Amino acid sequence: MSKVQEAPLTETAFLVLLAMYTPNHGYGVMQFVEEKTNGRVVFGPGTLYGAINNLRKKGWIKPLPVEKGERKKDYVITELGMAQVEQELRRLKEIQQIAIDVLGGEQG
């Protein structure tokens, strides 16, 4: 099993992890990301399923058992994935604070 990485997450990985705080399948992740980013980010299938495979290999998401007769595969974030998201959020907040300090106050 992998550990929390120190390197920054890609935006794709971060958004996919956020989408999997509740069980979700590929199309549901696509919809979540497009909605939450107001259409700024739209995943193609190759990008999305590449990210899902990568996150699964790292142990940050896991597949849920497939119900009999179901075709879609749902995934959910793991504790390790949650720790990764929390670390990334701290990193982003630190960067935001540096920018605020440099720019001289809260920027909209």
Q: Residue written as tokens 């605020």?
A: 100
**Structural domain contains residue 3:** no
As for how many domains the chain has, the answer is 1
What digits encode the pLDDT tens for the residues 1-35? 567 777 899 999 999 999 999 999 999 999 999 99
Type and span of the H or E element at 63: strand 61-63
Q: Domain containing 45 — which CATH number? A: 1.10.10.10
Q: Which residues contact 17 (CB under 8 A, 6 or more apart)?
A: 9, 55, 60, 61, 77, 81, 84, 85
Show the domain range for 38: 11-103
pLDDT at residue 52 is higher than 60: yes
Residue 6 counted as domain residue:
no
**CA-CA distance, 72 to 55, in Å (whole number)?**
18
Q: Beta partners for 62?
A: 76
Check pLDDT > 90 for residue 42.
Answer: yes
With H, G, I as helix, E, B as strand and everything else as coil, classify residue 60.
coil
Q: pTM score, two decimals?
A: 0.87
